[in-house]
Amino acid sequence: MKELLRTKGYKATPQRELIFECFLAAGRHITVDELYQKVRLKDSSVGHSTVWRNLKLICKLGLAEEVNLGDGLTRYDRITPEPHGHLYCLECKKLVEFDMAKLLPALNETAQGSRFQPVGFKIEIQGYCDSCGERLGVTGENSYNGSGTKNVGKKERGKNDDLS
């Protein structure tokens, strides 16, 4: 790690090393605050902005990327050897990954059909996981949805005055 940092021209500070270490050890889709908490278990003097900045650096170094599930929180996802998409359970908020290799040909074709030169693909499938679907009795045909999704699962900041 020290290596990578120095060869890329960044200083290997103890805070930075700790943050990188905690990030790599943590699960996927971690938020700034979640990582901040983890880091502080090891060194409570590390600042929030340092964690934020280093998470940005981790992305810049190609080790992670930001993910937006539309819930108002930016999550940082470790880059995987193969591109993957996300399955998001609307009930329990569980996030499962899936390999999107099989979909790539069709996606590239789609892009070319619109004369677009694709660089990245983001696929999110919202629905219900096994247990939630069963518990809620979600049988089959729920589907359909305008542009293909709904921005459900937003963190519910509070109530709407009206339109409850």
Partner DNA sequence: TTGCAAATGAATGTCGTTTTCATTTGGGCA
Partner DNA sequence: TGCCCAAATGAAAACGACATTCATTTGCAA
- Closer Cβ to Mn ion, 7 or 145, answer by number: 145
Q: In angstroms, what is the minimal distance from the CB of 32 to its own copies? A: 14
Count of residues that interact with Zn ion, criterion CB under 5 A: 6
* Residue 40 interface partner, choices Mn ion, its own copies, DNA, none, CB cut-off 5-8 Å depending on type: none
The stretch near its own copies (CB under 8 A) out of 15-23, 35-43, 85-93 is 85-93
Say if residue 72 is exposed, middle or buried (CB neighbours under 10 Å; 0-12, 13-18, 19+). exposed
141 to 160: interface string for its own copies, x by CB under 8 A: -xxxxxxxxxxx-------x
d(CA 18, CA 58): 12
Does 107 contact its own copies by CB under 8 A?
Answer: yes
- Contact indicator for 34, 26 with CB cutoff of 8 Å: yes
Does 138 contact Zn ion by CB under 5 A?
Answer: no
Which tokens is 44 given?
């409570």
Closest CA to 60 of 39, 46, 38, 76: 76
Q: In angstroms, what is the minimal distance from the CB of 91 to Zn ion? A: 4
| Residue 25, φ and ψ in degrees, nearest 5 | -80, -30
Say if residue 36 is exposed, middle or buried (CB neighbours under 10 Å; 0-12, 13-18, 19+). buried
Given 147, 151, 160, 164, the residue binding Mn ion (CB under 5 A): 147
26 contact partners, CB below 8 Å, separation of at least 6: 34, 35, 38
Q: In angstroms, what is the minimal distance from the CB of 110 to Mn ion? A: 14
- Closer Cβ to DNA, 136 or 152, answer by number: 152
* Residue 92 interface partner, choices Zn ion, Mn ion, DNA, none, CB cut-off 5-8 Å depending on type: Zn ion
Does 24 contact DNA by CB under 7 A?
Answer: no
